[in-house]
Amino acid sequence: MAPLAIRRATKSFGGFEVLHGIDIDIEDGEFVVLVGPSGCGKSTLLRLIAGLEDITTGEILIDDKEVSRLHPKDRDIAMVFQSYALYPHMSVAENMGFSLRMRDVKPPERDRKVQAAAEILGLTPLLDRYPRQLSGGQRQRVAMGRAIVRDPKVFLFDEPLSNLDAKLRVQMRAEIRVLHKKLKTTIVYVTHDQIEAMTMADKIVVLRDGHVEQIGSPLELYDTPANAFVGGFIGSPAMNMLNGRIGEGGRSFVTDNGAELPLAAPPRIEPGRATIMGLRPEDIEIDEAGFPAQVQLIEPTGADIHVNLEVSGDVLTAVFHERLGLSEGQSVRLSIPVDKVHFFDPDSGDRIVG
Amino acid sequence: MTVADSPKRRQRETYLIFIALCIFTFINLMPLIWAVLTSLKDPRDAFTIPPTIIFEPTLEYHRQVWFENDFFRYLKNSLIVSAGTVFISVPFGCLAAYALSRIPRRSAGPILSALFTIRMFPHMLLAIPFFVMGTFLNLIDSYVLLILALVAINQPFTIWLMHGFFLEIPRDLDEAAAIDGCTSWQAFRIVILPLARPGMTVAALFSLLLSYNEFLFALVLTGTDTKTLPVAIASFGGEDISAWSLSAAGAIGIMLPIVIVMLVLQRHLVRGLTAGAVKG
Amino acid sequence: MVRWQRGLWLFFVPSFGLLAVVLLWPLGYAIYLSFFDYYLGSNVRSFIGLGNYVDLLTEQRLWRSMWTTIVIAFGSVGLEFVVGFALALALYRLNSSARVFSVLLFLPHIVTPVVAALFLKWMLAANWGFVDATLLTFGITPPDWLGDPFWAKISVILADAWIFTPLIMMVLYAGLQGLDESLIEAAQIDGASNWRILRHVIIPALIPAIIFTISVRLMDVFRFFDIIYVLTGGGPGTATETITIYTYQLGFRMLQVGKASALGVITLVIVAALLLTINRLLNSIYRGGDR
């Protein structure tokens, strides 16, 4: 258990910089998720923390101690790999006890710790099996067992759930969360799946192209995305983005395609300024007094209904919880609560705070 | 060609291929069969026109070649030299091959090419300095010199072969081992090496085969004390036709252990042969 | 190299140290010797610069042995490749019984080469050899397989082919088994003839394996020693004297180790040049696009 800090970290591969000055502070016991599209550098960042890659410039502090020149074994971390990386020729117990064995922990104590970890993860009946005799979910658990058995300062997870089927993934998500509550160890968790990030994290770090786009709690990211990228990346279905400008007097938003969407209260943005309006699908309401739209496509998911609505050339996705009895081709009227609208600068993508 | 008649045609083709292959195989094995027959023949059956197929077989010459012609001593020499080569070449080769499989590709590539180039050295070019140095150091007719020479020609191949096996072991395991507290040496010895055992079997097998069969270095670097089986059989005969049965018996005796070992370890064989064939 | 893996360089030390001592040093020594007139019997040596090279390149015997090597090399590798490929295709086609055949066909390759050469010698020996004895039975007078300059070359080529065709067969067969069968099936459904499938689907896919086997075999043939040594000893006369046999004669029979070293160096240069050319050629033919 320890705080972790990354300071101005850059990483280049053969002159090509893939991480550009990353600064992240992680508190003791925090569950931090690094999320971003593939190629954003999140796995590289995790490997820098683990010491599997050398940092180019900058520093990494674990427990306030600079570690970026240390061998992975001397950083007191544990890692769960995407492939699990279980040792095929060792039993589950041997796999879990291996790090203790390498640190000269005496066999009786080793057994005790392995037993305890196996207990927590429900692996006790499997201790004598070999990795090839286990199912995917069981292997995943063993990989976690191997990590927790040593009680390291930081846990690193590299997309640990991506090889599991959807149902198991949801289950393991909850289990890891519960495990973290129990162990209270600092966790850095890499995933490309924003739902995993939202459901598990205390703090999310959104990365894109080797830059940090935003750091914050899941709801902060959801409610006040720092830019259009974060807005579009977090949340499912994705946020609707409309290009246009603020209409006269700030009473409406005029899309580039000419539709005029009335705003209940004027945003604090000068009229006529070009902006991107971001609109969460669940914030769109049916309102007889609103602007006109046409139902293009209806996708019932059971709990919700996803509806694609055409507003003079732009398509908005909306999510309704009620069964509205809409049919494709039908005309409806919509409105947007003003406090749920996000405005971004079309050039920089940054959030425009009114 | 219509689709309907093709299965029948294929069937007939397959049948013809089968027959042709049977005939070819038989003709191809004729020298071997002939040698086996010769080794079981009395000289009066060996020199006949037409060749005798039916005769009273005798194991007399097999007995003679081993018990009256020192072949046991040559076998001992062959085994010492082969074992020496394997025990030096395979461990050293494994170490280098492992490192080669783990360093960045751009560094490994040139080393691999260099090793491949070394493999094509004309052996004769190596035999001369070995012979000259051996003469000066008074090491001709010693096991050491021959073993070193065989290691020299064997090592690049062993590295190349083992490199392929180590590449198949995921790097994640090295990384997991490093995080679990292993140094590079510990990761290699405790985690990677046990997983490379099938590869080591193949490498050992091929080193063994190479040193057991090797002729040139054995010919110029050994003498009466350390003569290996191939040198012995080559000097033994073929010239004097009255010794045919005897030398055939010797030849069969040399061949037999390899054939047995190779039949048992057949599945490993292809792996060694095709090493490097797919990705150059 | 990543910091935590730097220790890996030490893993190279034993092997490369050994190679330096038993391979590079002798090689350097051989090159050094090639500049001396050195008769091992009398132990006198005098520096003559490129004298050995000049001697060798201006004498008939070298060029004759070179020509013999080329004839034998291309003859045997060509034969091995054609037969080996045909056998590999046959095995691929048979599938079920291929295993038994592949083991039997492979036998000649695993037999000690010296022993294999002896087997062939007993086949080809005058009068009492199996071939002659059989032919004479039917009243056909056979040629002198090992004693006639022309037939001796043929015999050597056949011997090499007998021993090494199985190797080529195995490598190509392994390559064929790695082929994506759906490609072949798709071509069959498109109505392509067997020949076209071979030409346009199978051969292009096997190019790496083909380049590999041909290069390895060619370099082997250039150091091809034991089989000729046992079968003909380079004779009759110098009819089957390859560069390797000539080097052996120079170095170990006449003890002219300086001159023999020079010949070894020349061989090395030729082999290297040859392999580079072959690789380039085959690469450019098949990377140059589909015709």
Over residues B117-153, the pLDDT tens digits come to: 787 778 888 999 999 999 888 888 899 999 999 999 8
Q: What does the pLDDT read at residue B92?
A: 96
Domain assignment of residue C11, yes or no: no
Alpha carbon of A68: minimum distance to chain C alpha carbons (Å): 10
Could you say which residues from 153 to 192 on chain B have a Cβ atom under 8 Å away from some Cβ of chain A? 170, 172-173, 175-183, 186, 191
A132 HSE (CA, 13 A, CB side): 3
Which residues lie closer than 8 Å to B147 by C-beta, 6 or more apart? B81, B84, B85, B88, B211
B240-267 pLDDT tens trace: 666 788 888 888 989 988 888 877 777 7
**CA–CA distance, B68 with B79 (Å, rounded to integer):** 20
Mean pLDDT value across residues A143-163:
92
What are the boundaries of each domain within chain B? Answer: 70-235
The secondary structure of chain B in percent helix, strand, coil, rounded to multiples of 5, reads: 80, 0, 20
Range from C148-152, C193-197, C242-246 carrying the lowest mean pLDDT:
C193-197
CATH numeric code, B70-235: 1.10.3720.10
Domain assignment of residue C20, yes or no: no
Residue A20 clears pLDDT 90, i.e. is over it: yes
Q: What does the pLDDT read at residue A144?
A: 93
Element (H, E) at B246: helix B244-264
Find out whether A201 and A218 touch, Cβ atoms under 8 Å: yes
Question: B27 in the Ramachandran plot: left (φ > 0), alpha (ψ -120 to 50) or beta?
Answer: alpha
Range from A40-49, B83-92, C165-174, C204-213 carrying the lowest mean pLDDT:
C204-213
Residue C291 clears pLDDT 50, i.e. is over it: no
| Predicted confidence band of residue B237 (pLDDT cuts 50, 70, 90) | low
Neighbouring chains of B at 3+ CB pairs within 8 Å?
A, C
Alpha carbon of C291: minimum distance to chain B alpha carbons (Å): 23
User: At residue A33, what are phi and psi to the nearest 5 degrees?
Assistant: -110, 125
Q: What does the pLDDT read at residue C202?
A: 85
Residues B180, A98: C-beta atoms closer than 8 Å: yes
With pLDDT > 90 as the criterion, what percentage of chain A qualifies? 73
End-to-end CA distance of chain C: 43
Range from A184-198, B41-55, C17-31, C131-145 carrying the lowest mean pLDDT:
B41-55
Q: Which residue of A has its CA nearest to B187?
A: A102
Interface size between B and C, measured as CB pairs under 8 A: 275
Q: How far is CA B50 from the centre of its chain?
A: 36
| Predicted confidence band of residue C4 (pLDDT cuts 50, 70, 90) | confident
Place of tokens 């305890």: A116
Residues A72, C4: C-beta atoms closer than 8 Å: yes
Q: What does the pLDDT read at residue C283?
A: 66
| Predicted confidence band of residue C103 (pLDDT cuts 50, 70, 90) | confident
Residues B181, A77: C-beta atoms closer than 8 Å: no
Q: Which domains does chain A have, with CATH numbers?
A: 4-233 (3.40.50.300), 241-352 (2.40.50.140)
ipTM above 0.90, yes or no: no
Q: What does the pLDDT read at residue B56?
A: 74
Residue B64 clears pLDDT 70, i.e. is over it: yes
Whole-number average pLDDT of chain B = 85
The closest of B230, B122, B221 to C260, measured between CA atoms, is: B122
Alpha carbon of A13: minimum distance to chain B alpha carbons (Å): 12
Q: Which residue of C has its CA nearest to A75?
A: C4
Do strands A65-66 and A77-80 pair parallel, antiparallel, or not at all (unpaired)? Answer: unpaired
Domain assignment of residue C144, yes or no: yes
Residues in chain C whose beta carbon is closer than 8 A to a beta carbon of chain A? 2-4
Find the domain containing C84 and state its range.
55-290
Which residues lie closer than 8 Å to C114 by C-beta, 6 or more apart? B213, B215, B230, B233, B234, C226, C227, C230
The residue with greater pLDDT, A55 or A324, is A55
When computed from its CA atoms, the radius of gyration of chain A, rounded to whole angstroms, is: 24
Element (H, E) at C90: helix C60-94
Residue B280 clears pLDDT 50, i.e. is over it: no
Domain assignment of residue C1, yes or no: no
| Predicted confidence band of residue C286 (pLDDT cuts 50, 70, 90) | low
Task: At B168, list the tokens.
Answer: 């198949």
When computed from its CA atoms, the radius of gyration of chain B, rounded to whole angstroms, is: 24
Residues C247, B24: C-beta atoms closer than 8 Å: no
Find out whether B28 and C169 touch, Cβ atoms under 8 Å: no
Domain assignment of residue C242, yes or no: yes
Number of domains in chain C: 1
**CA–CA distance, C108 with B34 (Å, rounded to integer):** 13
**CA–CA distance, A162 with A183 (Å, rounded to integer):** 23
Instruction: Let me know if A329 is exposed, middle or buried by CB neighbors in 10 A (0-12, 13-18, 19+).
Output: exposed
Mutate to test the interface with C, among B26, B71, B90, B124 (most CBs of C within 10 A): B124
Residues A81, B175: C-beta atoms closer than 8 Å: yes
Domain assignment of residue C4, yes or no: no
Task: At A129, list the tokens.
Answer: 């099996």
Amino acid making up residue C97: S
Whole-number average pLDDT of chain A = 91
CATH number at residue C202: 1.10.3720.10
User: At residue B269, what are phi and psi to the nearest 5 degrees?
Assistant: -60, -50
Q: Which residue of A has its CA nearest to B195?
A: A89
Find out whether A294 and A309 touch, Cβ atoms under 8 Å: yes
The residue with greater pLDDT, B180 or C291, is B180
Mean pLDDT value across residues A26-47:
94
Residue A79 clears pLDDT 70, i.e. is over it: yes
Alpha carbon of B102: minimum distance to chain A alpha carbons (Å): 13
**CA–CA distance, A350 with A276 (Å, rounded to integer):** 10
Q: How far is CA C208 from the centre of its chain?
A: 18
When computed from its CA atoms, the radius of gyration of chain C, rounded to whole angstroms, is: 23
Domain assignment of residue C71, yes or no: yes
Mean pLDDT value across residues A178-198:
93
Q: What value, to the nearest 5°, has the Cα angle with vertex C1 and ends B279 and C6?
A: 110
C109-122 pLDDT tens trace: 888 999 999 899 88
Does this model's pTM top 0.90? My answer is no
End-to-end CA distance of chain B: 39
The residue with greater pLDDT, A164 or B241, is A164
Q: Which residue of A has its CA nearest to C7?
A: A71
Residues A52, C3: C-beta atoms closer than 8 Å: no
Between the CA atoms of B234, B238, B242 and B245, what dihedral angle is there, to the nearest 10 degrees?
A: 70
Residue B6 clears pLDDT 80, i.e. is over it: no
Q: What does the pLDDT read at residue A216?
A: 95
Domain assignment of residue C214, yes or no: yes
B104 touches chain A (CB under 8 A): no
Residue C46 clears pLDDT 80, i.e. is over it: yes
| Predicted confidence band of residue B273 (pLDDT cuts 50, 70, 90) | low
The closest of A235, B272, B67, A268 to C171, measured between CA atoms, is: B272
Peptide bond into C149 cis (omega under 30): no
Mean pLDDT value across residues C8-27:
93
Mutate to test the interface with C, among B41, B74, B102, B128 (most CBs of C within 10 A): B128
Q: What does the pLDDT read at residue B277?
A: 45
| Predicted confidence band of residue A62 (pLDDT cuts 50, 70, 90) | very high
- Strand blocks (E) in chain C: 36-39, 44-47
Range from A79-83, A345-349, B65-69, C165-169 carrying the lowest mean pLDDT:
B65-69
Q: What does the pLDDT read at residue B4?
A: 46
